[in-house]
Amino acid sequence: MSPLDTTTDPLELRRAFGCFPSGVTALCALDSGSPVGMVASTFTPVSLSPALVSVCMQDSSATWPRLRERDRLGVSVLTEGQDTVCRTLASKEGDRFASVDWEAAENGSVYIHGASLWLDCSVHAELPGGDHTIVLLEIQGLKVEPDREPLVFHNSKFRRLAVV
């Protein structure tokens, strides 16, 4: 008998995927002069040439259709202590930016203060991926603050890295 459970139950898959720790990013832009944004823990570097990263967007997202239409998107890699920012930007109700420190670039991309990395991106391609869309973003510019500790999401909780 195999030690593996062959279930594909969505709740069990979500629990299984939670075993993989990830960082958290905020994808934000101005839409008619107001900030629009969401969080994604599916951020992955893809290519150096061209400079590409990927994120996966749930097909039922109400925010991604608004963001995909923007010329530029700001990607902010959130840092330790920004768990409240993450929860606020992930909220389905209210003004997601009311208590979040942010700034906008002239091109309309929006960045979260205190992030360890800011990427100025444009949508390069979108690929179907089950109940998600895999989005390739082309990096047009960046700012790095590598000494800031990352916000780590694991098993549905925010964690801290241990220095060993």
Reported as a single tens digit per residue, the pLDDT across 65-121 is: 999 999 999 999 999 999 999 999 999 888 999 999 999 999 999 999 999 999 999
Asked if the model's pLDDT at residue 60 lies above 60, the reply is yes
Domain 25-149 has CATH 2.30.110.10: yes
**pLDDT score, position 38:** 96
The model's confidence at residue 156, banded by pLDDT at 50, 70 and 90, is: confident
Reported as a single tens digit per residue, the pLDDT across 109-145 is: 999 999 999 999 999 999 999 999 999 999 999 999 9
Nearest partner of 75 among 138, 37, 25, 41, judged by Cα = 25
Contacts of 139 (CB under 8 A, 6+ apart): 51, 52, 53, 119, 120, 121
Asked if the model's pLDDT at residue 6 lies above 80, the reply is no
Name the residue ranges covered by the structural domains of the chain: 25-149
**pLDDT score, position 53:** 97
Model pTM score: 0.90
Residue 79, number of CB atoms within 10 A of its CB: 21
**pLDDT score, position 161:** 84
Tell me the C-alpha distance between 48 and 39, whole Å.
23
**pLDDT score, position 1:** 46
Which of the pair, 19 or 144, is modelled with greater confidence? Answer: 144
